[in-house]
């Protein structure tokens, strides 16, 4: 529950802004105020962590793949002459 | 204009560093390696041919992604009609139902901070992402994986920023729901936790 230190942002506002806060896209609200709310509000903090864990898992799973050497070679062929070697 | 070697100055330096990112984006769109590789080649070929129209110093990655998605959508249009997605004029300031994540409600007391996400294997996450409707998938990939700002995604996709937010909201919630169900089935969190519909 909110205490004195989290008065500026209500729990409802914090939950509404959680994604924009993580994405660095807050509009018209101070990031430090939202951050302070999550740090001090035991009820809201897990919501922030859940969203963060979700994004971390997504990034981990989806940044492994790289273009194969064959594809790289073909694209390099395009870059150097506007044609594919295939 | 091409130089004597036949290449266009600056293209390779600006475009090639984004090859892996474009490939991953193509993979998320197409869902399979063969089509993704084909998409990447066509993307670079089209980009190469349009290089004279590209404004140097602007966002090359975003430009390549735009071409890649356009190629993908055109191909899909030939094959099938777009998947219908739910109305997007969601009032994000609205109901309390929106505010509290349903999976948080279910996981509360068991894994309220969503640590189970870290235990889910990569392939399962990729599969869940690839099952999202294209509009949501693209928004989630561009924001959560590529780290693009909302405004850049909006410009790339050709929709207002509010629509990007709405697509992100819906796409993330859907993904979280699917992954939560998987985590329960896989025993990553106690079976007593399950997604309940109401507040």
B195 in a structural domain: no
DSSP letter at B143 equals I
In 3D space, the residue among A7, A5, A8, A29 whose CA is nearest the CA of residue A17 turns out to be A29
CB-defined contacts A:B, below 8 A: 142
B119-138: pLDDT as tens digits? 999 999 999 999 999 999 99
Residue A7 dihedral angles phi and psi, to the nearest 5°: -60, -35
pLDDT of residue B109: 67
Q: Is B153 among the domain residues?
A: yes
ipTM of predicted assembly, 2 dp:
0.84
What token pair was written down for B122? Answer: 């990569």
pLDDT exceeds 60 at position B92: no
Say whether B45 and A82 touch across the interface (CB within 8 A). yes
Could you tell me which residue, A51 or B106, shows the higher pLDDT? A51
Residue of B118, B140, B150 lying closest to A25 (CB–CB): B150
Q: Judged by CB atoms within 8 Å, which residues 33-62 of A form the interface with B?
A: 45-47, 49-51, 53-62
Distance from C-alpha of B88 to C-alpha of B138, rounded to nearest angstrom: 15
Q: What pLDDT does residue B91 have?
A: 47
From the list B96, B104, B103, B49, the residue with the least C-alpha distance to B71 is B49
Question: What's the rounded mean pLDDT across residues B149-168?
Answer: 95
Do the Cβ atoms of B23 and A82 come within 8 Å? no
Count: domains in chain A? 1
Question: The domain containing residue B142 runs over which residues?
Answer: 96-185
pTM over 0.90: no
Question: Is residue A32 assigned to a domain?
Answer: yes
Supply the pLDDT for residue B112.
81
Q: Which domain holds residue A17?
A: 4-81
Q: Would you call B15 an interface residue with chain A, using a CB distance cutoff of 8 Å?
A: yes
Q: Do B104 and B177 belong together in one domain?
A: yes
Residue A19 domain-assigned (yes or no): yes
**Which residue is it, tokens 């009609």?**
B81
Q: Which residue has the higher pLDDT, A5 or B58?
A: B58
């Amino acid at each position: 529950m909110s205490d004195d230190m989290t008065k500026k942002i209500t729990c409802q506002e914090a939950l509404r802004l959680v994604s924009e806060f993580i994405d660095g896209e807050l509009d018209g609200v101070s990031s430090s105020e939202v951050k302070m709310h999550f740090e001090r509000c035991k009820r809201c903090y897990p919501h922030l962590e859940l969203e963060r864990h979700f994004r971390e898992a997504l990034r981990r799973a989806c940044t492994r793949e790289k273009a194969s050497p064959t594809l790289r070679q073909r694209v390099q062929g395009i870059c150097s002459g506007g044609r594919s070697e295939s | 204009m091409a130089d004597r070697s036949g290449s266009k100055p600056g293209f390779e330096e600006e475009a090639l560093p984004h090859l892996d990112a474009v490939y991953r984006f193509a993979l998320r769109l197409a869902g399979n390696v063969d089509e993704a590789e084909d998409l990447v080649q066509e993307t670079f070929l089209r980009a190469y041919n349009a290089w004279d129209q590209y404004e140097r110093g602007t966002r090359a990655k975003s430009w390549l992604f735009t071409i890649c998605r356009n190629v993908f959508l055109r191909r899909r249009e030939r094959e099938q009609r777009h998947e219908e997605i739910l109305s997007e004029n969601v009032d994000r300031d609205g109901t309390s139902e929106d505010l509290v994540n349903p999976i948080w409600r279910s996981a509360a007391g068991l894994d309220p901070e969503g640590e189970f996400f870290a235990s889910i294997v990569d392939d399962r996450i990729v599969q869940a992402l690839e099952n999202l409707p294209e509009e949501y998938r693209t928004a989630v990939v561009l924001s959560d994986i590529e780290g693009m700002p909302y405004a850049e995604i909006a410009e790339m996709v050709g929709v207002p920023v509010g629509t990007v937010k709405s697509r992100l909201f819906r796409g993330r919630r859907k993904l979280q729901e699917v992954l939560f169900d998987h985590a329960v089935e896989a025993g990553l969190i106690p079976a007593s936790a399950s997604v309940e519909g109401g507040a």
